[in-house]
Amino acid sequence: MADHQPIIWITGQPGAGKSTIGRALLDSLREDGVDTFLVDGDDLRALTANADYSPAGREANIRRAQDIALYLSRQGRVAIVAVVAPFKWLREEFKARATVREVYVHTTEIRGREHFHSDEYGAPETDFLDLDTTEADVVQSVREVRRYADL
């Protein structure tokens, strides 16, 4: 069995840049020969036909993403997860049982996805990288995530 790899958990409100940074990070790591996989929240919902945005539906989607990421990590792959994941308690629970590098992506810029914002979103308070994408360059953001995750 391969060594467990870190899970990069990119969280934040819709439109903050989670998927953009996740895809760029995936490309950057693959260019360096790192076995990497991206679990994107929108793709996961489409794959599982989960259109339930109630608290229970959101929790089910987050737990599914966690299970996939943990499986990939145990197989020696770096898992990048880009999901809203509004429940801080659920993210903290996951960080307690896996090697997770949480990245909190946020912006003050209006990007047209604000109507999807989660009123129940709880921003992280400890053990995370704070990434303000308001004026951030994607390449620089990827560098910051790689440095934070020691990748």
E strand or H helix that includes residue 105: strand 100-106
Q: Tell me the average pLDDT of the chain.
A: 91
CATH for 7-149 is: 3.40.50.300
Task: Tell me the pairing of strands 36-40 and 78-82.
Answer: parallel
Crossing angle, helix 18-31 and helix 138-149, to 10 degrees?
A: 70
For residue range 42-97, list pLDDT tens digits in order.
788 777 766 777 888 889 989 999 999 999 999 999 999 999 999 999 999 999 99
> Is residue 4 very low, low, confident or very high in pLDDT (cuts 50, 70, 90)?
confident
- Spell out the domain ranges in the chain: 7-149
Closest alpha carbon to 134 in 111, 104, 107, 105? 107
- pLDDT value of residue 1: 41
Q: Give the pLDDT confidence score for residue 3 in this predicted structure.
A: 65
Look at residue 5 in the predicted model and tell me its pLDDT: 92
Closest C-alpha to 9, from 108, 112, 90, 118: 90
Read off the pLDDT of residues 25-42 as tens digits, 9 standing for 90 and up.
999 999 999 999 999 987
Give which of 18, 22, 27 is closest to 111, Cα–Cα: 18
Please report the pLDDT score of residue 43 as a whole number. Answer: 81
2 pLDDT higher than 60: no
CA 70, CA 4: separation in Å to the nearest integer? 9
The CB density around residue 72, as the number of other CB atoms within 10 Å, is 22
Hey, which residues does 37 pair with through a beta bridge? Answer: 79
The whole model's pTM is what? Answer: 0.91
**Alpha-carbon span 19 to 40, nearest angstrom:** 7
Contact 129, 18 (CB under 8 A): no
